[in-house]
Structure 1
Amino acid sequence: MNHRVRVVSVFASGPDGGNPAPIVVDAAGMTDADMQQVARSHGHESGFVFPAPAGSGCDFEFRFWVPNHEMSMCGHATVGALWLLERLGRLPGDSYTILTRSGRVEAKVGGRTEQGTEQGAQIEISQPLGHVEPLPDADRSRADILDVLGLQADDLLPLPVQNAATSRVKTLVPLKSVATLDRLTPDFSRIEALCERIGSTGLYPYAVSDPGAQVVDARQFPSSSGYPEDAATGIAASALAFGLLSNGMVEASQRRIAIRQGRAMQRPSEISVRFRLDQGRPAGCWLGGAVRMAQHDQGDLS
């Protein structure tokens, strides 16, 4: 099999933006060590496309690795892999089901443009209903988070710091201003131990930049991925949407929520989240955004 690695930039907002995702669209025969080596050599979350197991009722199986370990789900690598499959002519339909280690993911393919254009199809993937919970030992945990992020109590909105998840737990830290978010200088050496104690896979501080338009800025500091910060984190953005909903900061509607990330890394990104409604109540969400080939991987897509 051809185990060629192609790199896409997912959730890109501008030519240098987005989160790079190395993708192997024909990963059958790759071992765990093979996949981890791809993630280690590129230094990014990586996605691998396998044939779906017989009887699964799915169209593909996706697996995901970061340099340090396998992940059960990766939003931007899923969006990037589907976009790449469509560009390669392997997604003739409009809807697909993906098997992941965290469960089944539905995908919608729309807005197709001609082959060879920069943007290609518009991809959205499903995430389940989010769960939002208070932190364990909330006062101590809040103090520890402030200390690790280099914040003062006055930097926070009068809202709880919360754990939220659709696929993986992220800790949502509500800040008063985007300026405070931009100047964060975390103590990265302490994040993994802190996240382990509070039952989280990463800190996700955020600030609402335009409440009327439902635009939010955020940064993601993962607990143990092998790198200090993410340029765009779809799973965290999905969790944040439900955190915002629980605090009355966004509507329980299908209006788009725009979550901007990556500016502090000079990789500006924008993630689109829309609630999926069942009898007028959110029952999950759709996650999507722009994708393009990474600048260093602009070769033939044949």
Structure 2
Amino acid sequence: MSSSPASEVLRYAAFTSRPDGGNPAGVVLDAALLDERRMLAVAAEVGYSETVFVTARDDRRRRFALRYFSPLAEVAFCGHATIAVSVALAERIGPGALVFDTPAGEIAVETRADGTGAVRATLTSVPTRSRPAPAAGVDAALSALRWARADLDPALPPHIAFAGNDHLVLAAGTRARLAELDYDFDALAAVMRAHDWTTVHLVWRERGDLFHARDPFPVGGVVEDPATGAAAAAFGGYLRTLDPAAAGVIAIRQGEDMGRPSDLTIEVDPHDARVRVTGRGVPIAG
């Protein structure tokens, strides 16, 4: 890549304190001169599930405009790239509050150093919502995943959950079912495009405050995300919809089956449709 400020790509791992864990994201801190076609080309060259571009910045007010691109298309919001750019900015202008204007809406983030060598960032999502998923769409997705209805947890019904993007939520009945992910890439991508789903958020409930997750992302040209902040926020809205009195802190463990363990924390408030998502982030050397 060019070394000019407008095209320099930084690389960060989000939802981890280790460069070889979490979900890697590209970060371009000065993209004001890049058009949409160039941003897409940069994202494709980087090859991560998303690269985030700062298209306008006001360091004094700590307010920034962001756009997110996968290798194949622009997405309205990406949680792990938001954590990544928050950490990059905190390292350069100091920890504290940040405000991002994104295609999905305004996203507030709090950053702080946590003594581990990483920066901890907490984003507050746009208002979430969730609704039962259409039966035909669920059946098509299950077919592409090579799952059966019997593989699902009946206590956690399929939903379409939103936190800036739509995500199909499917809850596996066992950890083994979640671990054995071997899906038809093209078939699942076609189903997702037909329904405008950004990811399929596959979860397994170990206990009430701990879930394991996997997120196929074929519509972005990526087999799977090792950490998905946008889907985690949407999942918080899903849990709140299932139980309007739900509240508290929930841990999500993701990426283990890919060899990139990731830790996400969501905070669900029964009186607020927004969900707070927390994770660490660190630069990737080289």
How far off its partner does 1:91 sit? 3.6
Once residues 106 and 139 of structure 2 are traced to their aligned partners in structure 1, the CA distance between those partners, rounded to angstroms, is 37
Q: Which runs of 5+ in 2 are unaligned?
A: none
Once residues 245 and 122 of structure 2 are traced to their aligned partners in structure 1, the CA distance between those partners, rounded to angstroms, is 20
Once residues 270 and 133 of structure 1 are traced to their aligned partners in structure 2, the CA distance between those partners, rounded to angstroms, is 26
Paired position in structure 1 for 2:261:
268
TM-score by length of 1: 0.85
The answer to whether the 8 Å contact 1:85/1:91 transfers is yes
Q: Deviations over 1:202-255 (max 9, x none)?
A: 2111101122xx11011111241011111111001111122223334x9622x3
The answer to whether the 8 Å contact 1:13/1:270 transfers is no
1:205 aligns with 2:202: yes
Aligned-residue identity in percent: 28
1:59 aligns with 2:40: no
Once residues 269 and 112 of structure 1 are traced to their aligned partners in structure 2, the CA distance between those partners, rounded to angstroms, is 17
1:131 aligns with 2:126: no
Paired position in structure 1 for 2:30:
26
Paired position in structure 2 for 1:180:
177
Amino acid at match of 2:264: I
1:290 aligns with 2:285: no
Once residues 238 and 268 of structure 1 are traced to their aligned partners in structure 2, the CA distance between those partners, rounded to angstroms, is 18
Q: Which runs of 5+ in 1 are unaligned?
A: 298-302
1:232 aligns with 2:227: yes
Task: Please list, as runs of the form range in 1=range in 2, the aligned pairs for 1:187-198 lying within 5 A after superposition.
Answer: 187-198=184-195
How far off its partner does 1:111 sit? 4.0
How far off its partner does 1:15 sit? 5.2
Amino acid at match of 1:49: V
Once residues 223 and 133 of structure 1 are traced to their aligned partners in structure 2, the CA distance between those partners, rounded to angstroms, is 23
The answer to whether the 8 Å contact 2:142/2:148 transfers is yes
Q: Would you identify which runs of 4 or more consecutive aligned residues in structure 1 move more than 6 Å?
A: none
Structure 1 pair 63/98, CA: closer, same or farther in 2 (3 Å)?
A: same
Paired position in structure 2 for 1:118:
117
1:148 aligns with 2:144: yes
Once residues 276 and 142 of structure 2 are traced to their aligned partners in structure 1, the CA distance between those partners, rounded to angstroms, is 31
The answer to whether the 8 Å contact 1:14/1:268 transfers is no
How far off its partner does 1:112 sit? 5.2
Once residues 86 and 73 of structure 1 are traced to their aligned partners in structure 2, the CA distance between those partners, rounded to angstroms, is 20
> Which structure's residues are more often strand, by fraction?
2
CA RMSD, Structure 1 to Structure 2 (Å): 2.1
